[in-house]
Amino acid sequence: MTVEEIKKDIVKTEFYTINKKIKFESGVEFGPITVAYETYGKLNEKGDNAILIVHALTGDAHAAGYHSEDDKKPGWWDTLIGKNKAFDTNKYFVICTNILGGCSGTTGPSSINPETGKPYSIDFPVFTIEDTVKVQKEVLDFLGVKSLYTVAGGSMGGMQAMQFVISYPQMVKSAILIATTSRLSPQSIAFNAVGRNAIISDPNWNNGDYYDKENKPDRGLSSARMIGHITYLCEEAMYNKFGRKLQNKDHYDFNFDIDFQVESYLQHQGQIFVDRFDANSYLYITKAVDYFDPVSKYGSLKNAFKDSNAKYLVISFDSDWLFPSSESKEIVNTLMQLGKDVSYCEIKSPCGHDAFLLEYDVQSKIIKSFLNDHIKGDNNE
């Protein structure tokens, strides 16, 4: 292996400020908005080889590569983005933006309100998935992207990909929807509601005004993450990983300390989450996910997709009970009824909903095949 092959792909997070107000679905006009984004590969002269990667609930713009030589962990989808990978940066100009309302560089409740000099906190307007897509479109225009070869994402990223196709049907040539749904089930909304309640019930939340306080709503945010993390796994994954094994002990302690390994794991996930995420952002983003419902907004899923000419790849996982395969099949069946070009694959996996981040080998093959067929199809037109 050469020195160049060993060397890490160093990337830099960039920032673009939209110096105008964007009208949100709620009717509120809001701006300016700064968006954190990263790009990989090179945009061609026609501006039509771009791929937009949209992240899941608590993701960020750092989808691939490393921020420095000392960086130990690459971007969250590094296994799929890069030279000769599924999203091949030898061919495509890949873009990933941090979501509106986030806390990783894009304007959100923790950002400074220029009118007050203080964080927006809960004065930040409630937004929707459609609003996030409007913001992403502004970034694409700034970068010179004329059309999207593909928009791709898993979970909430799949919702954004769907909305992009719906909002800008003439701009999107194809969409890859992974482990996603066209609207949350009542059970999924309930899990989000419990997570938000855990944050709001934390005395340190202080009605959202905690940024200049010594104590933050860490316990509430940690509990919200623990609740969410349970939904990302599945019974098989949890049993295989933990079973009923005890944590560093041979017998029960007969108190309310941690006894089981699964308890320790969830506590750890909650603790590391508070170091990188903002409690108010969690409230806003989960609410945006709850509101996503093109079926109600457009009268039916058929009406939502009817103007699209995109080709679709839909992927689900058999152990995903948060967004089960039945919800992906509903999308697929709707697209088939409309006569759209759609491919579907259900992947067997013990990883639950998190499989879209973990099952990269099989996803890579499927995505590569889809994009290659996409290229052949375009060349034959």
Q: Is 67 tagged catalytic?
A: no
Residue among 300, 299, 229 nearest 268 (CA): 229
Rounded CA-CA distance 330/316 in Å is: 12
Q: How far is CA 189 from CA 16, 130, 196, 228, 236, in A?
A: 32, 18, 11, 11, 23
3 CB neighbour count, 10 Å cutoff? 6
Q: Is 353 tagged catalytic?
A: yes
Residue among 18, 1, 150, 17 nearest 88 (CA): 150
Q: Are 86 and 364 in contact (CB under 8 A)?
A: yes
Give the type of residue at 235.
Answer: E
SS3 assignment for 47-94: CCCEEEEECCCCCCCCCCCECCCCCCCCCCCCCCEECCCCEECCCCEE
Rounded to 5°, the CA angle 315-151-106 comes to 115
Q: Are 99 and 33 in contact (CB under 8 A)?
A: no
Helix (H, G, I), strand (E, B) or coil at 23: strand
Rounded CA-CA distance 313/51 in Å is: 14
From 320, 328, 354, 374, active-site residue: 320
Token output for 218: 């860490």
230 CB neighbour count, 10 Å cutoff? 16
Long-range contacts of range 249-253, CB-CB < 8 Å, 24 or more positions apart? none
From 104, 111, 121, 155, active-site residue: 155
From 55, 62, 353, 374, active-site residue: 353
Q: Is 374 tagged catalytic?
A: no
> Catalytic residue numbers?
155, 320, 353
